Amino acid sequence: MTSSASRHSQIQEFIDELSGFAATAENTLSTIESDLEAHKGLFSVFAERMFAIRGTAQQLSLPHIAEIAGFGEEIAIKGSVAQTRPQLRKCVGSLWDALTTVKYLLVHYTEETSEEQKILINRMQVTLQALGGKRPTMSEDEIADILKARSSS
């Protein structure tokens, strides 16, 4: 970004766009909650919306939003393969927390991470760990190594 004014306007546009994503995520979560087993396939829709929010928040240097959306994405992916009703309930509970916080932060994006958000992040970390943890990821350097290895092979 070239100035704080243009950054602000870009963030405003982002918030308008992502508020729509958050609304879709909220409807999806309500549907899942209405019948956990029957609608568990919809967790992937929720994960997609959280991914979209995470990616855009990362791009616009809003790491506190990206972090919570990232937890929402990972927990939703665990929800889509959860085997038991208590696991499904745990996922839905965590996802409501994540979604509510993301929606709040989209409006109050300049606020520092509060004590309440830190507790929420910790709770989501514990939930995610209990469900098997995050999917393995790769760093920029590891990706570069793989691309280099492919070029030289």
Partner 1 sequence: MLREDISILVVDDVNSIRVHVKELLRVCGFRKIVTASSGEEAKALLETQPFQLILCDWHMEPTNGLELLRYVRNHPQFCGIAFILVTAENTRDRILDAVAAGVDDYVVKPLTQGQIQNKVYSVLLKRKVLT
From CA 30, how far away is CA 36, in angstroms rounded?
Answer: 10
First to last CA, the chain: 39
Site for partner 1 in 103-142 (CB under 8 A): 135-140
Nearest to 127 by CA among 64, 71, 68: 71
Taking the complex as a whole, the smallest distance from the CB of residue 55 to partner 1 amounts, in Å, to: 3
Looking up tokens 């409807």, which residue turns up? Answer: 27
Q: Pick the binder of partner 1 from 58, 113, 114, 125 (CB under 8 A).
A: 58
Q: Is 78 in the site for partner 1 (CB under 8 A)?
A: no
Q: Give the type of residue at 2.
A: T
Is residue 17 within the footprint of partner 1 (CB under 8 A)? yes
Say which residue the tokens 């992937």 belong to.
Answer: 44
Establish if 23 lies at the interface with partner 1 (CB under 8 A): no
Evaluate whether 39 touches 76 at the Cβ level (below 8 Å): no
Locate tokens 């990206």: which residue? 66
Of 10, 31, 108, 20, residue with least CA distance to 68: 108
Q: How far is the CB of 48 from partner 1 (least distance, A)?
A: 6
147 binds partner 1 (CB under 8 A): yes
Shortest reach from residue 125's CB to partner 1, in Å: 18
The least CB distance from residue 115 to partner 1, in Å, is: 27
Q: Which of 26, 11, 20 is nearest to 92 (CA)?
A: 26
**Least distance in angstroms from the C-beta of 133 to partner 1:** 12
Contacting residue, 32, 60, 76, 105, with partner 1 by CB under 8 A: 60
By the criterion CB under 8 A, which residues form the site for partner 1? 1-2, 10, 13-14, 17-18, 48, 51-52, 54-56, 58-61, 66, 135-140, 143, 146-147, 150-151
